[in-house]
Amino acid sequence: MSQLQPYVDRKVTVVMGDGRVVVGTLRGLDQTTNIIMQGCQERVFSEDEGVEVVDLGLYLVRGDNIALIGLMDEEADAAIDLDNLKAAPLPAVRH
């Protein structure tokens, strides 16, 4: 059925239309890519300091605002030193 079904109950990174990056556990979705994520954390990237992690909790995101959903490799993610990772925030989607 849905291409996203195998991602349910897995840890995912969602890139939003405005460039925000949110990490959480995918709990549900529908055919228009509306999604429900649990235990969300936003990762705020900046060029001057490391990545700031902000707790958000439960999120329901409308499909229109989703650019990409990535299945996370949790081992690889744990190996990343977020405190010293500096990068410009992702640009917003321009249709």
Partner 1 sequence: MLFYSFFKTQVGQQVTVELKNDLAIQGVLESVDQFLNIKLRDIHVVDPERYPHMLSIKNCFIRGSVVRYVQLSPSTVDTALLQDAARREAQSTQQMNQAKPNVAQA
Q: Are 57 and 39 in contact (CB under 8 A)?
A: yes
**Residue 13: CB minimum distance to partner 1, A:** 6
**Residue 30 touching partner 1 (CB under 8 A):** no
Q: Which of 25, 33, 34, 41 touches partner 1 by CB under 8 A?
A: 33
CA distance 62 to 30: 10
Cβ neighbour number for residue 55 with a 10 Å cutoff: 8
Answer yes or no whether residue 83 interacts with partner 1 by CB under 8 A.
no
Give residues in contact with partner 1 (CB under 8 A): 3-4, 7, 13, 15, 17, 19, 21, 33, 43, 45, 63-64, 66-74, 76-77, 80, 85, 87-88, 90-95
